[in-house]
Amino acid sequence: MPSLFDEFQLKDLTLPNRIVMGPMTRAKATPEGVPTPVMALHYAQRASAGLIITEGTWPDRRGQGYFDIPGIATQEQEDAWRLVTDAVHARGGRIFLQSEHTGRVGHEVNNGGLQMVSSSTTPADAMIFTRENGYSPMTTNLHELTTAETWDLIEDYHRAAVRTKAAGFDGIELHGASGYLPHQFLSDETNQRTDEFGGTPYKRTEFMVQVLRRLIDAWGTSHRIAVKISPNIRFNGIAENEVAETYSILLDRLNELDLAYVAFQTPESLRSLANQPNEEIVDGEIWHRFPYEFVRERYNGTVIASGDLTKELAQKALDAGKADLFVFGRAYMSNPDLVERMQNDWPLTPTDMRRSYGGAEEGYTDYPTWEEQNAAELVPSGA
């Protein structure tokens, strides 16, 4: 039986275990989207993960839905990311960048005043946190990308991918989930286009596929390019009909691309993140449900599952052949040595979700490893 703690061959990249630190936006960059040194320390502390995926990082400033999130569109950003990748590699880790264009999700007060763009002009019926006004409705001032502008934006992803490689990353995960731009193209509710990017389920998959093609061109191989999807999720105002049809076509097309992996986010997990009641989870039995089987049946390559996993659930899903690699999100915020803790059955430090976004070290780089925690407890008080 394979174990979570066995090596895994992700194409040409050897992962020491099957545990993935999931992408987590933490808003620790400068207002201009430059990664800060504290981010290098945070990721390096978590280098024993089989694979680290960074927080969502914008390839083009219009796609910066939240304030203080990083980009990879300028030389300064690329150089600052180099400190992160060097720090992770120095500790023996592996790190993919998550390329995230938020499309209609966000507000122009968060991105320096640029008009936000989407597949169509339907605004997201959802709230966003802004520095100026706290929680407020997402922008309604949307620009529908013309066909030519859509191709230009695909080139923005390509340019960012060239920088990602130059910054020393091991690969890229395209964020195609959670209601962001590629997902807006996929959904029939947010894509009312009649050009080559809309009108049928196949054409709605075109944007994501074309972006992936250009990421592959930038890297020179498809084996370091991946994508995250979230079929049927209701998050950031996204809703989808024709889910099975659209995602069947998409997964067929992803098979042809021979990517590093496809990651998926379960619908349940984001509801639990948003503290909404989730009556569909019975005794934590989520692994056998959509989209686990849906993705596994249609996709031939490596599958990463994410959402509400524990060591036990992940191992069960692995035993049942439902997925290959497993994302841990919130547990990674407060347990830099999550792999060692799970492997040795050491207790996990609970996560203080009040420290999710913004600030500096507190709740970010100050969570101890199990060994540090115990060493501290051995020091006599007053010492």
The catalytic site residues sit at 180
Rule CB under 6 A: is residue 64 a binding residue for ligand FMN?
no
> In whole angstroms, how close is the CB of 194 to ligand FMN at the nearest point?
30
Which has the closest alpha carbon to 296: 260, 264, 259? 264
Rule CB under 6 A: is residue 23 a binding residue for ligand FMN?
yes
Tokens 């390096």 sit on residue: 44
- Single residue of 10, 17, 18, 22 touching ligand FMN by CB under 6 A: 22
The b/e string for 297-336 (b: 16+ C-beta within 10 A; e otherwise) is ebbebbbbbbbbbebebbbbbbeeebbbbbbbbbbbbbbb
CB contact set of 173 (below 8 Å; sequence gap of 6+)? 23, 53, 96, 97, 98, 99, 226, 227, 228, 263
- Single residue of 74, 248, 278, 356 touching ligand FMN by CB under 6 A: 356
> In whole angstroms, how close is the CB of 381 to ligand FMN at the nearest point?
34
- Single residue of 120, 122, 236, 306 touching ligand FMN by CB under 6 A: 306
What's the rounded Cα separation, in Å, for the pair 68 and 93?
Answer: 25
Rule CB under 6 A: is residue 28 a binding residue for ligand FMN?
no
- Single residue of 102, 190, 265, 369 touching ligand FMN by CB under 6 A: 265
Cβ neighbourhood burial of 57 (10 Å; 0-12, 13-18, 19+): buried
Rule CB under 6 A: is residue 327 a binding residue for ligand FMN?
yes
Residue 41 has which token pair?
Answer: 């320390």
CB contact set of 306 (below 8 Å; sequence gap of 6+)? 20, 22, 228, 263, 264, 265, 266, 269, 326, 327, 329
Per CB under 6 A, contacts with ligand FMN among 154-183 are 175, 177-178
> In whole angstroms, how close is the CB of 148 to ligand FMN at the nearest point?
29
Total residues found in the chain within this entry: 383
Rule CB under 6 A: is residue 55 a binding residue for ligand FMN?
yes
Binding piece for ligand FMN, criterion CB under 6 A, among 18-26, 188-196, 209-217, 253-261: 18-26
Rule CB under 6 A: is residue 329 a binding residue for ligand FMN?
yes
Rule CB under 6 A: is residue 106 a binding residue for ligand FMN?
no
Rule CB under 6 A: is residue 4 a binding residue for ligand FMN?
no
Q: What is the DSSP letter of 53?
A: E
Q: Which residues bind ligand FMN (CB under 6 A)?
A: 22-25, 55-56, 98, 175, 177-178, 228, 265, 269, 273, 306-309, 327-331, 356
